[in-house]
Amino acid sequence: MKMPIKDRWNAELYDRSHSFVSEFGNDLVELLAPKKGEKILDIGCGTGDLAYKLNKHGADVIGVDKSANMIHQALKKYPHIPFNVKDVVKLTYENEFNAVFSNATLHWEKKPKQALNCIYHSLKPGGRFVAEFGGKGNVEIITNEILKQLKLSSVTYSPEQFPWYFPSIGEYATLMEEVGFHVSVALHFHRPTPLEGDDGLRNWLEMFAVEMFKHATTETKERIYTSIEKNLRNTLFTNNRWIADYKRIRVVGIKD
């Protein structure tokens, strides 16, 4: 197998320090309730753990992710499952899947309606779209502190560097309806999320927020990381671990 094109995602760090991403997806698998023989598309499959769970239920799963590094890792772990490097806004499937599943991915997509259109067309009539991702207010305590420290350090930053799309329920459910979905579930909820280890917050910043620091030197970035840890310790560090201020959206849409 050829080595993947280098991208910003560190798949080894993801598996080592961010296993909570797929672990919290177990409830979403239950909501999906995959059936034996169903054809399911896992969008933003990462390193493949949830696709593997769907496969164990007897579903015919295809996993796609924008990151070549993630797909390379998924293929190493689960070589019997087809994984492909694909961008959700460039999917060309038509009426192929009984279900589309996505965990902790769609907050990375800044063209949400285009993504929803592709998801809708991928489904067979009567198919279901089940997803969970960051919603309005997600990691707001962390990102506010990042922005504060960037400003104090005179690091160039523009709003376009904010890497996520965190919609409200009303905003996202409306987009789903506009592309044709019947929205049967739409929830917004707080889910404080433990980060592994004393360096859990620093690992989170390095894994997920790197775009916000792209104009900072390595030395400045390390100094900012230390300041963020110091300033947020009283708020987000409890019982000897960091707790990220996650707020999630969970939706189910049916293609009528």
Note the pLDDT tens digit of each residue in 96-115: 999 999 999 999 999 999 99
Residue 227 in domain: no
pLDDT given at position 196: 85
pLDDT given at position 187: 97
Residue 234 in domain: no
Enter the tokens of residue 105.
């991915």
Residue 67 in domain: yes
pLDDT given at position 162: 98
Evaluate whether 19 touches 40 at the Cβ level (below 8 Å).
no
Q: Is residue 3 scored above 60 in pLDDT? A: no
pLDDT given at position 211: 95
Question: pLDDT grade, residue 7 (50/70/90)?
Answer: low
Number of domains in the chain: 1
pLDDT given at position 23: 67
Residue 5 in domain: no
Enter the tokens of residue 144.
């506010």
pLDDT given at position 13: 58
Residue 6 in domain: no
DSSP string, 111-154: -HHHHHHHHHHHEEEEEEEEEEEE-TTTTHHHHHHHHHHHHHTT
Residue 17 in domain: yes
Q: Is residue 19 scored above 70 in pLDDT? A: no
Residue 155 in domain: no
Q: Is residue 16 scored above 90 in pLDDT? A: no
Residue 27 in domain: yes
Note the pLDDT tens digit of each residue in 229-247: 999 999 999 999 999 999 9
Find the CATH number of the domain harbouring 68.
Answer: 3.40.50.150
pLDDT given at position 26: 86
Helix (H, G, I), strand (E, B) or coil at 51: helix
Q: Which domain holds residue 19?
A: 11-137+164-196+244-255
Q: Is residue 22 scored above 70 in pLDDT? A: no
Note the pLDDT tens digit of each residue in 62-96: 999 999 999 999 999 999 999 999 999 999 999 99
